Amino acid sequence: MYNGFVRIAAAIPELRVADCAFNASKMAELIRQAEIEKVQVICFPELSITGYTCADLFFQQQLLVDAKKALQELQLLTFTTTSVLIVGMPIRVQNQLFNAAVVLQGGHVLGVVPKTHLPNNNEFYEKRWFASAGSIEISEIMLSDEKVPFGTDLIFTDNKFSFAIELCEDLWVPIPPSSQHTLHGADIIFNLSATNELIGKHNYLCQLIEQQSARCNAGYVYASAGFGESTTDVVYAGNGLIAENGKIIATSQRFSFEPQLVVSEIDIDRLRADRIRNTNFTNGKSDTAYRIIPIEDAHFNHFVLKRSFDKLPFVPSVSNRDASCEEIFSIQVGGLAKRWLHTSAQTLVVGISGGLDSTLALLVCVKTADKLGFDRKRIIGITMPGFGTTDRTYHNALNLMQSLGITLKEISIKDACIQHFKDIGHDPAIHDVTYENTQARERTQILMDIANKHNGLVIGTGDLSELALGWATYNGDHISMYGVNSGVPKTLVRFLVDWASHQLDKNSETILQDVLDTPVSPELLPADENGEISQKTEDLVGPYELHDFYLYYFVRFGFSPKKILMLAKNAFTGEYSDEVIEKWLKVFLRRFFAQQFKRSCMPDGPKVGSINLSPRGDWRMPSDTAGFDPLTPLKEEKE
């Protein structure tokens, strides 16, 4: 295992029905390929040694003898390989025949898992040949001159990860065996299958695997019979599917005439992070005492991940863009509508800077007013130009408010700030934190007082990324009466504003697109000699796409800085150097821990996604915790 990842494979070999020697030789080819690719566990399809479609040939003594010989050949191969093999074959136990999965490593059979649920429908008649695992009365059998564990109560582990097995139909029943396997500690489920193809069945299968892996917070590896099986009545497509906690991450090419090895990695840390947070996870755990079967660590302690990671984990896919954006806006609008009606406020008061966050907040206010049937004039938008306000943001703020038909107010903060500098004895030529925060607090005072004057509710504009970094003036833009963006990270803010721009009239769309093109800035320092923004947030605290990536994996899964660093290098290959990624990760960690005191008294606001930093719900942390030392080298280490 490497950085919490275990590399696994679903193998679809070339096959001839009832030709066990041929089948074993073709399986061996894939096993050698998997060894080169540092695969720790390889799963083959159901009855892969004989073929699934042997029918009444399963009653032939010769086929059973040939299957055992083929198994012994594979055992010999495992003396020179380190991977764990899971192969399918018929196993005769006393006077019954079982459809079973056999686990091999290091020349030995580690255990045998029989199939529990046998189909008996128009397409499959397994009960004609095989007995169910429910009928077994013994826990060990002799196989290849060894006494080996036999049963469905086996969990295989190297103490870094654990896996268990179910076979084909076991997945399709109301309570699959894998449900109990995972409750008893299995991180990954391997399913040896032989699923035939029908119109629409593949999509259903994918949904089934995704749902089961999600319910079990598990990895799920599905290896199904392919080309070479008999096509007398049905066709097999060779489905190799790998899922992780509700999402398929790797697939085979269906209906391929060539053997396939579908390789990917399962993130054990991620699975266990979800399980430890789900206090109901072990509810329903049976009293069955599972047997723990040790496997050897393959010692593949370093490999380049085959799977990739989305650099924008908060942003929905383009294919789901409209539905996702509608849903996010609906959550924000629903939260604000309830608060507006509950407070009986006459107006909403929002500061409009011409930047992304205030733009999104304004759009939410407008949608809320429309949904409640209120006049948009009940929304009071206030632009408050200061020492750093540029013509670009100033005009975008004015034009947007006019375009959306709300009440517009303009109140300059310059004179008030100059008076305040005089009151506290501060030289306005010194552009320090006092200079900046005076402006932020003056703006908040104006908003609050206007709200008092007009029976209003001050709507906060700060987003989730700013809360994570503490990029807000305490008792300035940090404070509002309801923060509609508090659950929306900066990368998602940008996505939402872009989507919303295409839902409005052409004039509003043009304004919103220019807002999107404007550098993110609090505009608290004077503009440069060309009148352009001089204070660019991402130059000071780092790129928001990096910080949102760090935030997602740090809060959602509790990953270590070392692992987050490795994932970020994977996601941002070619965009940022390793040194830059590490630099901003240190900044993220330092700021995240130092700025908890601002989150401890943040206003109410709606949760939008899986991550939120509200101290009343999702994130409870002492404001004076020591945290991780960001100066400690975050180098990747070999385990």
- Give the residue numbers annotated as catalytic, written as ranges: 46, 115, 168
Asked if residues 252 and 241 have their Cβ atoms less than 8 Å apart, the reply is yes
- Name residue, tokens 């632009």: 383
Distance CA 44, CA 189 (A): 13
- Cα distances (angstroms) measured from residue 333 to each of 108, 327, 405, 484, 626: 61, 10, 18, 8, 37
Distance CA 300, CA 483 (A): 48
Rg (CA), the chain: 31
Q: In what order do the strands lie in the sheet with 108-114?
A: 108-114, 96-105, 84-93, 41-43, 5-12, 260-267
Collapsed DSSP state (helix, strand, coil) of residue 103: strand
CA atoms within 13 A on the CB side of 421: 19
Query: Please, what's the largest Cα pairwise distance for the chain?
Result: 101
Q: What totals of helices (H) and strands (E) does the chain contain, helices first? A: 19, 20
Asked if residues 448 and 458 have their Cβ atoms less than 8 Å apart, the reply is yes
Label residue 159 exposed, middle or buried (CB < 10 Å: 0-12, 13-18, 19+).
exposed
Asked if residues 496 and 357 have their Cβ atoms less than 8 Å apart, the reply is no
Would the CA dihedral through 175, 181, 185, 189 be positive or negative? negative
Distance CA 295, CA 108 (A): 11
Distance CA 41, CA 38 (A): 9
Asked if residues 362 and 460 have their Cβ atoms less than 8 Å apart, the reply is no
Distance CA 337, CA 358 (A): 18
